[in-house]
Amino acid sequence: IGMYATHTWKSNPDGYGDGGCFLFRLTPNAECFRFKPTFSSFGAEEGDDEKKVTRLQDVGQLMISSESFISMGVGEGGASGLRLNEDLTRGSTSKSMGFDNDELVGPGIEVFDVGLVEVYRFIRDVDNKPVDGDVDPWKGVFE
């Protein structure tokens, strides 16, 4: 299971990110859950998946994080599509409004132990620079 974040994770409980964020699972049936905004509320045409999410209530359905967790997708009662605790050892998953995902681990399994975390940063072949800019995502993390 996993999530694709369009922005570098930072402490921001109000939400951030854009419509390129998505949740996914590989087993038992591989599936990608893309953010599905109400297009009329953004003035975008349906199919314009890269349209920036600008309203606070919609951004809050994407990436939310603090010093104690990172999460993507907002569900009922404060649940998340996928949420990991501060040391990435425990996670939870539930149906989220913006992604309309199923529980990512399996039916009826909402809380789980994390066995492995993989983090990737995409680098452009042309100039060998990160696609998310030259900002150092680790600056200040270990100070």
pLDDT means per 10 residues, the chain with 143 residues, are 90 87 92 77 47 51 91 88 96 92 89 93 83 68 55
Question: Residue 14 has what pLDDT?
Answer: 84
Reduce the DSSP state of residue 142 to 3 states and report it.
coil
Question: Residue 138 has what pLDDT?
Answer: 63
Contacts of 18 (CB under 8 A, 6+ apart): 6, 7, 50, 51, 52, 53, 62
Question: Which one-letter amino acid corresponds to residue 33?
Answer: F
Two structure tokens written together for 83: 């949420």
Contacts of 101 (CB under 8 A, 6+ apart): 23, 33, 73, 81, 93, 95
Question: Residue 74 has what pLDDT?
Answer: 87
Question: Residue 80 has what pLDDT?
Answer: 93
Q: Which residue has the tokens 């409004």?
A: 97
Question: Residue 18 has what pLDDT?
Answer: 86
pTM of the model: 0.76
CA 94 to chain centre: 13
